[in-house]
Amino acid sequence: MDLFNKMEKFVLFLSIVFFAFTILIQVLNLKGEDSIFTSQFTNKAKFISINDINEEQKGTLIIKLLDEEYYDVKILVNGDTVSDFSKNNEIELSVFNNDLIEVDGSKYIDNIRVKVVGISKNIESPSLNTSATTNQSIEIIGKVVLK
């Protein structure tokens, strides 16, 4: 019986050592160049290390409402309302890479047009002068791609 107790303690000791070793390797492996691709296809989407997310990786979009009488049009970022045109016909948004920008004109029967009239230098998409027209719907302006 004494042999089995020693073997059990040895196996437990090895398990703890290997678990600690695995945690140590994971901590040391949090470099910026390490990333995991989320798809086997040519899609460039990937997980980014949390250490790489900083304030420099955000951009600015200015969206203008072209039909000024419709003030209750909302701008959505990743499905959440971030602003509307109740105070001004232009909205300035701070956006991050892969944010989905949409316009919600579902409260109005008429076509409502919005246009991207300003972008920061580090935004590749949506491009300047991108427009969207809603007809009682939520329309996609674009997915943010930073340079």
Percentages of the chain per state (helix, strand, coil), in multiples of 5? 20, 40, 40
Which DSSP symbol is given to 127? P
How many residues would you count in the chain?
147
For all residues of the chain together, what is the average pLDDT?
Answer: 81
Stretch 66-72: mean pLDDT, rounded?
A: 80
Q: Which residue in 2, 143, 13, 10 sits closest to 78, CA to CA?
A: 143
Give the pLDDT score at 23.
87
Least confident span in 36-40, 88-92, 123-127, 131-135: 36-40
What gap in Å lies between CA 75 and CA 24, rounded to an integer? 44
| pLDDT confidence band for 17 (50 / 70 / 90) | very high
What gap in Å lies between CA 106 and CA 84, rounded to an integer? 13
Q: Which pTM value belongs to this model?
A: 0.61
What gap in Å lies between CA 48 and CA 85, rounded to an integer? 34
Question: Quick check: 34 pLDDT over 80?
Answer: no
99 or 57, which is more confident:
99
Give the pLDDT score at 52.
54
Using the structure block, give the residue that is written with the tokens 């419709």.
70
Question: Quick check: 44 pLDDT over 60?
Answer: no
Question: Quick check: 31 pLDDT over 70?
Answer: no
